[in-house]
Amino acid sequence: QVQLQESGPGLVKPSQTLSLTCTVSGDSISSGSFYWSWIRQPAGKGLEWIGRIYTSGHTNYNPSLKSRVTISVDTSKNQFSLKLNSVTAADTAVYYCARDSAAAGLLDYWGQGTLVTVSS
Amino acid sequence: EIVLTQSPATLSLSPGERATLSCGASQSVTYLAWYQQKPGLAPRLLIYDASSRATGIPDRFSGSGSGTDFTLTISRVEPEDFAVYYCQQYGSSPLTFGGGTKVEIK
């Protein structure tokens, strides 16, 4: 059974960098079969795809966030990570990591999500 | 970017009734999925490729449509089906989601 678990600070100050890690179990990121995505959801609102990474390190980002986002992968730890810089209150959301099973963006396994609040 | 519009925003039903949820796209979609989300939980994949049920999804859930118009149908709503449902297009970057339809108890 594939499981994903997000981790990282729950509180980030405005203008600083949000950093989260997703640890994958039950599957190997280095198997090369899947992409790995980040998605976020502000409280009471819909879902926004942030971007994704392949085991090779190839990335795709949402143009709306591209200038502030970096997604990286650490195959030795079976983890991938998200960095979002210059955060504002508008970046306050639950952040999810997910597996992309079709290489086209079908998100079949999701982490439980982690709330990140941007506040001084 | 492909914009997905879901309707209605809220659907009030009694258990046992049929639910019909719509998802319209601003341009033709390659692939479409539906997800169910309950409060405090991550979305769960229900339907992929517009009409294929994901593993473990009951057959009361069905999807249809192509191009720019898609439908998720719950043949007889069970108490555990009251949730928010999102459509999502994939195959075109960026991935985008609809705004969601909340299925609530009438």
Smallest CA-to-CA distance from A48 within B45, B100, B41 is with: B100
Task: Classify burial at A13, counting beta carbons within 10 Å of its beta carbon; exposed 0-12, middle 13-18, buried 19 or more.
Answer: exposed
* Positive/negative CA dihedral, B84, A115, A112, A65: positive
How confident is the model at residue A104, as a pLDDT? 81
CB contact under 8 A, A107 and B88: yes
B52 pLDDT more than 90: yes
Across chain B, what does the average pLDDT equal?
Answer: 97
How confident is the model at residue B97, as a pLDDT? 98
CB contact under 8 A, A112 and B42: yes
How confident is the model at residue A80, as a pLDDT? 97
The residue among A47, A49, A62 with the most chain B CBs within 10 A of its CB, best to mutate, is: A47
* Positive/negative CA dihedral, B5, B10, B15, B17: negative
How confident is the model at residue A101, as a pLDDT? 82
B83 pLDDT more than 90: yes
CA distance A38 to A50: 5
Q: Is residue B91 within 8 Å of B31, Cβ to Cβ?
A: yes
pLDDT, mean of each 10-residue run, chain A (120 residues): 96 98 93 90 97 92 97 95 98 97 86 97
| Helices (H), ranges, B1-106 | none
CB contact under 8 A, B98 and A104: no
| Cis, bond preceding B15 (omega within 30 deg of 0) | no
Per-residue model confidence as pLDDT tens digits over B6-51: 999 999 999 999 999 999 999 999 999 999 999 999 999 999 999 9
More confident: B82 or A32: B82
In chain A, residues 23-82 whose CB comes closer than 8 Å to chain B:
37, 46-49, 60-64
What average pLDDT score do residues B63-76 get?
97
**Tokens 């339809």 -> residue:** B101
Select the residue of B1, B33, B86 nearest A106 (Cβ to Cβ). B33
Contact of A103 with chain B, judged by CB distance below 8 Å, is answered with: no
Q: Kindly report the nearest CA distance between residue B55 and chain A, in angstroms.
A: 10
